[in-house]
Structure 1
């Protein structure tokens, strides 16, 4: 059987909705680096992570914005928000929210990596290299975030 038209999108949306309704939680956030958990200071990030991992960035943005009302000092939430905005091409908002994440936690590995990717996308390779140097200081040259950003800078 071959799926055509809107059917794959509906199946994908149904799968995400089933995940959100399910009490089961997976163990790793794919799009956000090497996180060992989907919790951040008591905030469950699994639903946001699933939306981001499946490319449902608009829905992820809505979810994060609602979560920020209860947890306005969560660097992970700002990182997810910025990541989703960047993926949708809203570079100005993404830049502001990476900055917010890094103001809360200057050593946030994901925000440093993804802000560096934003710098590359917006023609600021020297700033991306600064983020790479910061990652080297914070986690060394063997951490996933350093390797990812380094690979994108050299390409």
Structure 2
């Protein structure tokens, strides 16, 4: 009888842990899934604002579905809003700290913003988690190797010729 409170607490802990680990692998609400598909199509067609609207509507329907944040981040990057994209990637990482796509995407957005050192930290994290040959690592390596658009614009021959 004296072990009953401890057993009840332990069983409650196990139920909570099982439900949390299962929540990360679930499918999106069907209505949200339809909006995600619509948003992807709009994004592919170049209509970023309508895509963002579709993704935000999907998020309102299913706020617990983490991949929506990755879609919102991609749309924000295509719209030139790297800071907003980084915020979405970090929200996804708060929910799933080892999400390779979020780590890589955040690194790419950091490069686009000109923060190469921070992007290299993301690359090191990816290499430690999934190795140097996983697709996310290779993608981020390529973006870092290409450099930031701001740095590349500063290094063009036209910009050096105009300063002489």
Class of the TM-score when normalised by the shorter of the 2 chains = 0.5 to 0.7
TM-score (norm 2): 0.65
Give unmatched runs, 5+ long, in structure 2: 1-24, 147-164
Q: CA RMSD in A?
A: 1.6
Partner of 1:83: 74
Answer 1 or 2: which has greater helix percent: 2
Q: In structure 2, how many angstroms separate the alpha carbons of the residues matched to 1:143 and 1:54?
A: 28
Matched, 1:103 2:94: yes
Partner of 2:44: 53
Q: In structure 2, how many angstroms separate the alpha carbons of the residues matched to 1:41 and 1:52?
A: 24
CA shift digits 1:98-132 (9 cap, x unpaired): 11111111111211111101111111111111111
Structure 1 residues 51 and 108: CA distance shift in structure 2, 3 A: farther
Please tell me whether Structure 1 or Structure 2 has the larger radius of gyration of its CA atoms. Answer: 2
* Runs of 4 or more above 4 Å deviation: none
TM-score (norm 1): 0.68
Give unmatched runs, 5+ long, in structure 1: 1-39
Partner of 1:42: 27
